A = this chain, B = another copy of it.
Amino acid sequence: LCKTGDEGQAAKMKLYDMKQAPNARRVRMFLAEKGIDIVREEIDLVAAANLTPAYLAINPRGLVPTLRFDDGSILDESIAICRYFELEQPEPNLMGRESLEQAQIESWQRRMEFDGLLAIGLAFRNSVPHFSSRPTPGAVPGAPQIPDLVPRGRVLTQHFLNQLDQRLKTSAYVAGERFTIADITAFICIGFAKWIGVQPEPGQSALQRWHDHIKQRPSAKA
């Protein structure tokens, strides 16, 4: 399936992408782990290029990343895009095999997403001037930023990193003994948290060790 050099499948889809956007980044990291190369087009979320009529004709939700197939149909939601590629190309496995393992990895992935990514996003979207009138991602009603969400999001992010450090004291990777999609979401969180001025603390040695280790993977640069 659409590996570099295999032009059959790759030509049939395109990924609307943005270099710095955390959700786009986790799809790219997932694809890099799978060795899947795909045509991509950059959509500048900061400049609201996702809310232009041209982009809304592709995805009316205005979300990035979006996977577009040759027939014009689309797939959005980063984890759903990952699921598609996981099922199409099962190895290397990133979402689990047996029922319980799949469910546990999904639980850890969602924990990284709800406790980490969403908390960071609250603080980010409600503070950055570029998003002053659009604190909620995508083509939804505009609204003023709510400054009180910034300290709340930062406290939740600090709590999240502390919990993650605790977990990584007894587990090599987020969901267990091997690298999975849960590590991808967690790793992307650390990068995203820079934008709200929160980073792992020196005392969080398990988190630091894990982060240094994941950073060595070629996919970390995707």
Contacts and interface: CB of A to CB of B under 8 A. Distances in A.
Given A140-B159, A156-B136, A156-B141, A102 B87 contact: yes
A3 interface: no
A99 interface: yes
Q: Which of A75, A100, A107, A141 has the most CB of B within 10 A?
A: A107
Task: Tell me the dominant secondary structure on chain A's binding face.
Answer: helix
Given A103-B87, A141-B159, A111 B148 contact: no
A110 B80 contact: yes
Interface string A69-96: 0000001110111011001100000000
A146 B143 contact: no
Contacts of A159: 140-141
Contact of A141 (B110, B114, B155): B155
A118 to B, nearest CB: 8
Interface string A96-123: 0011101110110011001100100000
15 contacts: A75-B100, A77-B110, A77-B114, A79-B110, A80-B103, A80-B104, A80-B110, A83-B106, A87-B98, A136-B152, A140-B159, A141-B159, A146-B146, A146-B148, A146-B149
Interface of A: 61, 75-77, 79-81, 83-84, 87-88, 98-100, 102-104, 106-107, 110-111, 114-115, 118, 135-136, 140-141, 143, 146, 148-149, 152, 155-156, 159
